[in-house]
Amino acid sequence: MSQALLASLHTLSFLLLFCLLVLEHREFCLPLDAPRARRLILLDIGYGLAAGLVLVTGALRVLWFGKGLDYYLHNGLFHAKLGLFLLVGLISVLPTLTALNLRPALQAGTAPEITPRRLQLVLWTIRLELLLLASLPVLASLLARG
């Protein structure tokens, strides 16, 4: 029972992560007003929390509720899946820093500014993240089949 609940929580946290990233992609557009900048910051914080939840629930599954640590440590698909997830985390630094750089303008009471070039770079980065994240369920399915 607890294995099924943890597996469900892991899947739901991944779906939440993906949905928050889709919303963040939608919110990154010009003109960037104060309410949109606040939403971007909140979405990015939520994205980070969801990523942490995916990582924690995944670790719990590997350590206590899955097929055993030895199975995962000797499986190339597991290494690919974990490596891809960590790569997405590294790629997400650019949108996160961009969102965090909006805070000073908000605190000063002015409209945050972002250059069109930076906006395009962030949007393409988020698209790459979404593409890489979309491949994780395929790897997970292959991993589950042994």
The whole-model pTM stands at: 0.90
* pLDDT of 13 higher than 80: yes
User: Could you tell me the two tokens for 102?
Assistant: 């909006």
Amino acid at 32: L
* pLDDT of 9 higher than 90: yes
- Of 62, 102, 108, which Cα lies nearest the Cα of 81? 62
Query: How much is the pLDDT for 146?
Result: 66
Q: How far apart are CA 33 and CA 73, in angstroms?
A: 47
Helix (H, G, I), strand (E, B) or coil at 1: coil
User: Could you tell me the two tokens for 82?
Assistant: 């974990």
Q: Which of the four pLDDT bands, split at 50, 70 and 90, describes residue 54?
A: very high
First to last CA, the chain: 22
Q: How far apart are CA 39 and CA 43, in angstroms?
A: 6
Mean pLDDT of 59-67: 83
* pLDDT of 1 higher than 60: no
Mean pLDDT of 64-89: 88
